[in-house]
Chain A
Amino acid sequence: DTEVTQTPKHLVMGMTNKKSLKCEQHMGHRAMYWYKQKAKKPPELMFVYSYEKLSINESVPSRFSPECPNSSLLNLHLHALQPEDSALYLCASSPGIPPMYEQYFGPGTRLTVT
């Protein structure tokens, strides 16, 4: 299995809602990443988990809360988001750090905040 899966594919939420994005990989990779991508822009790194521990937080607002319950699963909990948080949220994984290893990206979750 060489896939990174993400659910849901699309999500619409209000500014007072709480929702979660889910990412899963079964390639035995030990590093997992969350990226945010706005339309016609490059992906921006948000968080890196290495061996199930948060190793990098790129100064992301606390309304985004990552969680890595096990080595195959990565969640992103969302609360009190703003309309400007609407974007494609991409999950990726790699065999480990250092990052000369390829990052495998999922298809993303298209998030719309109303």
Chain B
Amino acid sequence: QQQVKQSPQSLIVQKGGISIINCAYENTAFDYFPWYQQFPGKGPALLIAIRPDVSEKKEGRFTISFNKSAKQFSLHIMDSQPGDSATYFCAAVTTSGTYKYIFGTGTRLKVLA
């Protein structure tokens, strides 16, 4: 019940295309959902985050869509660029009760020039 399922495992997108990564969770206690970007040899960096009282959040080319009833959320990268090639992790966090910060399994994105 503490897992966060992320798909796809890997993704190849043409430059200018839309990259879509999906995550699903089971524990309704999760109430904060960040997305991280990790380049090889670097630590993860927060891209964008959402709370369940909002269905969509957009920051630049990055958008999170959140479906509370389905317990799913997704990251959309618009106008994908080769510099976006990295591993992306979703995460689910509980901010009350037992503290849990659970990362998804990761998606390796490659954007072709």
Distance of A105 Cα from B38 Cα, bound (Å): 10
CB-based contact A45/B43 at 8 Å: no
With A4-B43, A105-B45 known as contacts, the answer to whether A100 contacts B51 (CB < 8 A) is yes
B43 to chain A, nearest CB (A): 3
Contacts of A103 in B (CB 8 A): 34, 46, 101
Interface residue? B66 (CB, 8 A): no
Instruction: Say what secondary structure dominates the interface of chain A.
Output: loop
- Report the interface size for chain B: residues with CB under 8 A from the other chain: 21
Chain A, interface size: which category? 20 to 34
Interface residue? B105 (CB, 8 A): yes
CB-based contact B96/A98 at 8 Å: yes
CB-based contact B44/A56 at 8 Å: no
Query: B-side interface residues toward A, CB under 8 Å?
Result: 32, 34, 36, 41-46, 49, 51, 89, 93, 95-96, 99, 101, 103-106
A-B contacts, 24 listed (Cβ < 8 Å): A40-B106, A41-B105, A42-B103, A42-B105, A43-B44, A45-B101, A56-B99, A97-B99, A98-B96, A99-B32, A99-B93, A99-B95, A100-B32, A100-B51, A100-B93, A100-B95, A102-B46, A102-B49, A103-B34, A104-B46, A105-B44, A106-B43, A108-B41, A108-B43
